[in-house]
Amino acid sequence: MVAGEASGDLLAGLLLGGMRQRWPALRVAGIGGPRMAEQGFEAWWPHDKLAVRGYFEVLRHYREIAGIREQLAQRLLSDPPVAFIGVDAPDFNLGLEARLKARGLKTIHFVCPSIWAWRGARAAKMAASCDHVLCLFPFEPELLRAHGVTATFVGHPLADAIPLAPPRQASRDALGLAATDSVVALLPGSRRSEIQYIAPPFLQAAARLHRQRPDLRFLLPLAPGLRAQVEPLVATHAPGVPLQLLEGRSHAALAACDVTLIASGTATLEAALFKRPMVIAYRMHALSWQIMKRMKYQPWVGLPNILCREFVVPELIQERCRPELLADAVLAALDAGAGRERIASRFEELHQLLRRDTAHCATDAIAQILSP
């Protein structure tokens, strides 16, 4: 199994929980992180080796990543597993899966690449890579079948893991927050490149918000290994701001906050499942953005907006990811009143749609793939 970055590790850990229940003697190894390790996963390489986003950023790490993929392929071909499961990370996994499938290994891809959002040509290549795709969203299997790819909608494991009624007060108690505190959660991403590009404007926005509303409290959950990168940024861009750095605990922060300022990615879906108003933002190297924006098919970038098919929450991408715009959007979300209830209602519907006992559905599909 290969999972890249924190979101893939989270999804894979939830999947492994269901697999272990079905197959107690299961041995799983490859590339993964701490959530997978909790389920007995043997990591040959840590998942953060693959945690790079953007064309320009990937080029800087290409040699190392390509070397890891070659070593992994050789190891799997010399000692074949029963199956290979690639968890997201399509740029790494699909090529590896094609090579393994050509040699007769069963290959499963968990999380359909966002062919409905950008890079749709990738769908035609998936038939050569995947014996089966486990899809998080209900409209994906039909899209894949049109390209000769078999797939199953298994729901989203986060919809099972996150309660329908978020534990707001319990999370505030655990984080030392009063019921009356106004709280903003800052989630600038889990990759080092995201911290480099996104954390500074997020922190500058927090400083502006603090000046305008000194009673606001701020939470910033940290992915493993990022504290040393984030602390100097806090000292530079948000000195004196009442900001609490958390080791992990992003779910507690989302449950406790009134609004989250959040980087586009899987975390935005988590925020939606916690029924939180949010401001979605993203910024990357300018060359990477020029390439990516030409390939996107939809007006939305954030998953909640894509799934709802409208701008339920605002998006401030690239040149609009500026401290003053971010701060204004957060204040508007804090003061939205009835708009907050509408957002929560839309996200409740989304939660019910994605809640399918993913671990059970996925292991059923995997069992059928592995049967003679």
pLDDT of 296 > 70? The answer is no
- Confirm if 340 and 277 have CB atoms less than 8 A apart: yes
Instruction: Read off the tokens for 259.
Output: 């609004």
Task: For residue 6, give the nearest of 319, 306, 226 by alpha carbon.
Answer: 226
**Residue 221 CA to chain centroid, in angstroms?**
14
Q: Please, what is the angle between helix 358-370 and helix 5-22, to 10°?
A: 70
pLDDT tens by residue, 143-202: 899 889 999 999 998 899 899 999 999 999 999 999 999 999 999 998 888 999 999 999
Distance of alpha carbon 183 from alpha carbon 330, whole angstroms: 11
pLDDT at 266: 87
Mean pLDDT in residue range 235-254: 96
**Residue extent(s) of CATH 3.40.50.2000 domains in the chain:** 168-354
d(CA 316, CA 205): 13
**Residue among 283, 281, 256, 284 nearest 267 (CA):** 281
pLDDT over 90 percentage in the chain:
73
In CATH terms, the fold of domain 168-354 is: Rossmann fold (3.40.50)
Out of 50-54, 200-204, 341-345, 355-359, give the one with best mean pLDDT. 200-204
* pLDDT tens digit sequence for 321-337: 999 999 999 999 999 88
- For residue 344, pLDDT beyond 60: yes
Rounded to the nearest angstrom, the gap between the alpha carbon of residue 119 and the centroid of all alpha carbons in its chain is 18
The residue behind tokens 């409740």 is: 348
| Confidence at residue 157, expressed as pLDDT on a 0 to 100 scale | 87
Annotation: CATH topology of 2-155+356-370 = Rossmann fold (3.40.50)
pTM: 0.80
Residue type, 220: L
Residue with the bigger pLDDT between 152 and 7: it is 152
Q: What is the pLDDT of residue 299?
A: 80
pLDDT, averaged across the chain: 91
Q: Read off the pLDDT of each residue in 274-293 and give the average, rounded to a whole number.
A: 85
Residue 295 clears pLDDT 80, i.e. is over it: no
Of residues 89, 93, 156, the one with CA closest to residue 362: 156
What pLDDT, on the 0 to 100 scale, is given for residue 199? 96
**Is the model's pLDDT at 121 over the cut of 90?**
no
314 in Cβ contact with 329 (< 8 Å): yes
The answer to whether the Cα torsion of 173, 176, 212, 186 is positive or negative is negative
pLDDT in tens, 13-45: 989 999 999 999 999 999 999 999 999 999 999
